[in-house]
Amino acid sequence: MKTVCCSILGFGAIGQGVAEVLLKKKEYLENIGLEVKVVAVVDSKGATINPEGVDLANCLARKRTDGTVALENLSGVEVIQSVAHDLVIETTPTNIRTGGAGLQNMFAAFQTGKDVITSNKGPLTLKYRELMEAAKVAGSHFRFEATVGGSMPIINLSNEVLAGNKVKSVKGILNGTCNYILTRMLEERASYNDILAESMQLGIAETDPTYDVEGIDTACKLVILANAIFGLDATYSDVEVTGITKVTPEALEMAYERGHVIKLIGEVSRERIHVAPRLVPINHPLAVGGTLNVASVETELAGEITVTGKGAGPIETASAILSDLIAIYGN
Ligand SMILES: NC(=O)C1=CN([C@@H]2O[C@H](COP(=O)(O)OP(=O)(O)OC[C@H]3O[C@@H](n4cnc5c(N)ncnc54)[C@H](O)[C@@H]3O)[C@@H](O)[C@H]2O)C=CC1
Ligand SMILES: N[C@@H](CC=O)C(=O)O
Ligand code: NA
C-alpha cells in the first residue's frame, strides 16, 4: 500500500467536496493500493493538523456548525512549510488580480518539493509559465483538470487521451453558473437575481460571482486551455470578454421563437481567444442546459470531438481532483 499524505487548502464548496469524495472512495483507493491521508485542512481562519490523519467527517461537521475548521492559527504557506506531506490540494478562491493565497501556496508547495492538484484558476491565469517552471525545477507533479469544465475532461483529454493529435481549437460553454442562469431564465422565467443567489447556495458560483456573470471565469479557463493545450503564453489581457449581464429574458424568448438559445460561448485557438453570448441552434451539440459545460475540440486527425459534463459543483469538481490524484499516484 502506498500512503499519500496531503493537505487541503481552502475548505469551501470544493474543499469539502474533496473531503466527501475521499471518504466515499476510501475503499476503492485502498483496493488500487493507495491510502490517502489528509494531514492538514486549512480555511481562511486557520488550520486543523494531525500527522496521523485528520478526521475528515469531523472537519466537515465542524465547518457546518462553527463555520471554520481552524484549531491552530496557521496559514496555508505555514502548513506547507511545517507539516510533512506529499501533495497540496489547492482549493482557495480564484483571484486573477494577485493570484491570491493560491499563488503563494503553489510556489511554497513547489519550493518544498510537493505535488499540487488544484481547482484554482487565478494562479494559472496569471503565472502559468512561472508555475510550470517551478514545478519542473522541483520535480513536482502539477495537475489542474478541475480548473476547466469542472468534472468534464478537457485538459487531460486533449493532452493525454488525444496525444499526438494536434488540437486546432476548443469552443464551448465553460461556465456552469451562466448556463444555469440562462437556462432557467428561459425555461422558468425565473429572475436573474434569484437564480444567481441560488447558484451561490449550490456552491457552483465563484466566491465573487461577478467572475461568472461578467465572463471573467470563462476567460480564465480559455487562458488555461491556451497555455496548457496550445503551448501559448497567454494571460487574461489576451482575451476579448463579454459576459451575460446584458442578456434579457425578452432576448432569450425572441431567440427561442426563432429556433435558437443564447449561450455564453468561449473559443480558443492559436489566433484568437474570446468569450461572448452567442446564438446557438436549439438542436446543436453546444446547446446543453443547466450547469452542464460542453466543449468541441477540433483536432487535426480526428475531426471534431465533443464532450459534455457538469462544469461546477462540489462533488463533480472533486471527481476531477480525484482523477488527477490517481493519475499521479496510481499504478
Ligand atoms: N464551485 C465550483 O463549482 C468550482 C470552483 N472552482 C474553483 O475552486 C476554488 C474553490 O471554489 P469554492 O470552493 O467554490 O469557493 P468557496 O468560496 O466556497 O471556498 C473557498 C474556501 O477557501 C477558504 N479561503 C479563503 N482564503 C483563504 C486563505 N487565504 N487560506 C486558506 N483558505 C482560504 C475559505 O475559507 C473557503 O473555505 C476556486 O478557485 C474556484 O474558482 C473550480 C471548479 C468548480
Ligand atoms: N463558477 C464556476 C465553477 C467552475 O469553474 C462555474 O460556474 O462554472
Ligand atoms: Na475538467
**223-242 residue pLDDT tens:** 999 999 999 999 999 999 99
Whether the predicted model's global pTM rises above the 0.90 cut: yes
CA of 303 from ligand 1 middle (Å) equals: 36
* Mean pLDDT in residue range 270-296: 97
**Hey, what's the cell of 171?**
469552443
Q: Going by C-beta distance under 8 Å and a sequence separation of 6 or more, which residues neighbour residue 126? A: 96, 98, 99, 103, 235, 236
| Ligand 1 proximal residues by C-beta, below 6 Å | 9-15, 42-44, 76, 91-94, 101, 119-121, 146, 150, 203-204, 206-207, 312-313, 317
Cβ of 93 below 6 Å from ligand 2? no
Name the grid cell of 117: 492538484
Q: How far apart are CA 277 and CA 279, in angstroms?
A: 7
Centre of ligand 3 from the C-alpha of residue 155, in Å: 7
Average pLDDT over residues 295-305: 96
Which pLDDT band holds residue 24 (cuts at 50, 70, 90)? very high
Q: Considering only CA atoms, which residue is closest to atom 43 of ligand 1?
A: 150
Q: Which among 180, 320, 174 is positioned nearest to 239, based on CA atoms?
A: 174
For the chain, give percent helix, strand, coil, nearest 5. Answer: 45, 25, 35
pLDDT of residue 283: 96
Q: Using one digit for the tens of pLDDT, what is the confidence trace for 94-137? A: 999 999 999 999 999 999 999 999 999 999 999 999 999 999 99
Is 221 designated active site? yes
Instruction: State the Cα–Cα distance between residues 212 and 206, nearest whole angstrom.
Output: 6
| pLDDT for residue 30 | 97
Q: What Å distances lie between residue 288 and 172, 177, 319, CA to CA? A: 10, 13, 21
Ligand nearest to the CA of 174: 2
Q: What are phi and psi of 117, to 5 degrees?
A: -125, 135
Q: Which CATH class is domain 155-310?
A: alpha beta
Q: Which residues pair with 189 in a beta bridge?
A: none
- Nearest atom in ligand 1 to the alpha carbon of residue 15 is 13
Helices (H) and strands (E) in the chain, counts: 14, 12
pLDDT of residue 331: 77
User: Which CATH entry fits the domain spanning 2-150+314-329: 2.40.50.250, 3.40.50.720, 3.20.20.100, 3.40.50.620?
Assistant: 3.40.50.720
Residue 55: per-residue pLDDT: 98
Mention every residue, 6+ apart, whose C-beta is less than 8 A from residue 223: 124, 125, 128, 234, 235, 236, 238, 239, 273
Residue 88 DSSP SS3: strand
Ligand 2 atom with least separation from CA of 146:
5
Mutate to test the pocket of ligand 1, among 8, 9, 11, 14 (most ligand atoms within 8 A of CB): 14
Task: Determine if ligand 2 sits within 6 Å of the CB of residue 212.
Answer: yes
Every domain of the chain and the residues it spans: 2-150+314-329, 155-310
